[in-house]
């Protein structure tokens, strides 16, 4: 049930943290062993199926279900904390999840203060560098679903949260040891719920594979924008809407990695940086350098899975109001 919008990923897509969403059998969903090959999980941490009653990819998670699930994760583990930063126009909570080592998550304010001091040497003596660097770990901000009709984003965020909280294998431990991962699991809940209401309204008892069917395309006002139909991926500078208050939160954390995960259309493969011309001459030249660096890593990860992808073509970075330009 995907609209045929073709949308770009921002340059920094952390594929090593993103689940590999294979095509599931109807009503079977995706098993955790297929989502995260080789992972080992703490059986005391509830899965999505334990809390919501269905596996990933059986159907899209509703926003209220997401809030219930992350609340259960927070109650079950000291490795996660749920923090509300705003409310949408329709009153839905906008949250981010802090996931990492228990000691760091237990004292987030102190960690953030020390992290900012590490990254900004102004106002502190150089003698502090050694001690600050010895305790350093990187911060990654993972954001999902800024367009409400890109349904898989939120479901990927829920799976990622479980992977990081419940994982007991060395890969999960390494990520918690070396990173603090901040997950914004649903940037546009109002648009998502509007789109789900439409797809449910047009659904058939037997799913229709024709992507032109209304159960996939829906009708105006669709679900891309927020309550007032504004495309939130055009509000990173003006910050008119409550959902965009995330910008000040992201800036307060100084993350080394920022991911804004979109979803491609049903007839498209993955798109990521580098972008095509025209380039905005007022953006720092380092933006292109890092876009190329991350793109190379993305290509390697996609090659390893045999997934098709492309770059450039229609995706430009001239407009400075996209998330990819803001970061």
Q: Which two tokens stand for residue 44?
A: 């005391």
Q: Show Cβ contacts of residue 303 under 8 Å, excluding neighbours closer than 6 positions.
A: none
Please list the residues that pair with 270 across neighbouring strands: 309
- Report pLDDT digits (tens) over 71-119: 999 999 999 999 999 999 999 999 999 999 999 999 999 999 989 988 8
Q: Which two tokens stand for residue 9?
A: 């990923």
Does residue 187 form part of some domain? yes
Does residue 205 form part of some domain? yes
Asked whether 88 and 176 are in contact (CB, 8 A), the reply is no
pLDDT value at residue 319: 84
Per DSSP bridges, beta strands 80-87 and 138-144 are: unpaired
Q: Tokens 């965009």 sit at which residue?
A: 244
Does residue 26 form part of some domain? no
Half-sphere exposure of 238 (CA within 13 A, CB side): 11
Residue closest to 112 by CA, chosen among 133, 129, 137: 137
Q: Provide the angle, in degrees to the nearest 10, between the axes of the packed helices 170-178 and 152-166.
A: 90
**Domain that includes residue 203, residue range:** 32-271
Does residue 260 form part of some domain? yes
pLDDT value at residue 282: 85
Residues 315/160/287/124 CA torsion (nearest 10 deg):
160
Q: Which two tokens stand for residue 85?
A: 């930063």
pLDDT value at residue 12: 32
Helix (H, G, I), strand (E, B) or coil at 124: coil
pLDDT value at residue 251: 93
pLDDT value at residue 320: 80
Give me the CATH number covering residue 45: 3.40.630.10
- Extended strands (E) in the chain: 80-87, 93-99, 138-144, 179-184, 257-261, 270-272, 276-279, 309-311, 316-317
Listing DSSP states for 92-112 in one string gives -EEEEEEES-HHHHHTHHHHH
Asked whether 137 and 180 are in contact (CB, 8 A), the reply is yes
Q: CA-to-CA distance for 36 and 42, rounded, in angstroms?
A: 14
Does residue 41 form part of some domain? yes
- Helix (H) or strand (E) segment spanning residue 295: helix 285-305
- Digitized pLDDT (tens) for each residue of the chain, 327 residues in all: 333 222 233 333 333 343 333 344 456 899 999 999 999 999 999 999 999 999 999 999 999 999 999 999 999 999 999 999 999 999 999 999 999 999 999 999 999 998 998 888 787 777 777 777 777 899 999 999 999 999 898 999 999 999 999 999 999 999 999 999 999 999 999 999 999 999 999 999 888 989 899 998 899 999 999 999 999 999 998 999 999 999 999 999 999 988 888 888 778 888 888 888 888 888 888 888 888 888 899 899 889 989 899 888 888 888 888 887 776
Asked whether 297 and 181 are in contact (CB, 8 A), the reply is no
Does residue 24 form part of some domain? no
Domain count, the chain: 1
Q: CA-to-CA distance for 87 and 306, rounded, in angstroms?
A: 40
Does residue 295 form part of some domain? no
Does residue 102 form part of some domain? yes
């Amino acid at each position: 049930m995907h609209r045929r919008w073709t949308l770009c990923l921002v340059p920094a897509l952390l594929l090593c943290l993103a689940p590999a969403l294979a095509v599931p059998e109807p009503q079977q969903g995706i098993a955790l062993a297929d989502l995260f090959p080789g992972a080992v999980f703490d059986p005391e941490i509830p899965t999505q199926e334990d809390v919501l009653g269905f596996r990933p990819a059986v159907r899209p998670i509703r926003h209220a279900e997401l809030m219930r699930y992350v609340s259960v994760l927070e109650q079950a583990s000291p490795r996660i904390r749920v923090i509300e930063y705003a409310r949408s126009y329709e009153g839905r909570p906008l949250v981010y999840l802090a996931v990492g080592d228990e000691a760091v998550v237990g004292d987030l304010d102190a960690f953030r203060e020390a992290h900012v001091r590490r990254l900004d040497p102004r106002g502190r003596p150089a003698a502090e560098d050694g001690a600050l660097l010895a305790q350093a770990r990187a911060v990654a901000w993972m954001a999902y679903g800024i367009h409400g009709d890109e349904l898989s984003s939120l479901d990927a965020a829920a799976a990622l949260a479980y992977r990081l909280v419940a994982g007991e294998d060395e890969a999960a431990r390494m990520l918690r040891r070396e990173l603090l991962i901040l997950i914004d699991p649903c940037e546009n809940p109002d648009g998502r719920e509007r789109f789900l209401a439409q797809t449910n309204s047009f659904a058939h008892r037997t799913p229709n594979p024709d992507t032109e069917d209304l159960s996939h395309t829906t009708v105006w006002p669709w679900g891309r924008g927020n309550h007032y139909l504004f495309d939130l991926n055009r509000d990173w500078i003006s910050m008119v809407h409550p959902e965009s208050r995330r910008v000040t939160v992201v800036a307060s954390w100084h993350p080394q990695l920022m991911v804004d995960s979109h979803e491609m259309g049903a007839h498209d493969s993955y798109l990521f940086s580098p972008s095509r011309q025209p380039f905005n001459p007022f953006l720092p030249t380092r933006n292109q350098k890092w876009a190329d660096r991350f793109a190379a890593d993305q290509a390697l990860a996609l090659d390893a899975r045999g997934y098709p992808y492309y770059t450039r073509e229609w995706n430009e970075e001239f407009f400075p109001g996209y998330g990819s330009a803001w970061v």
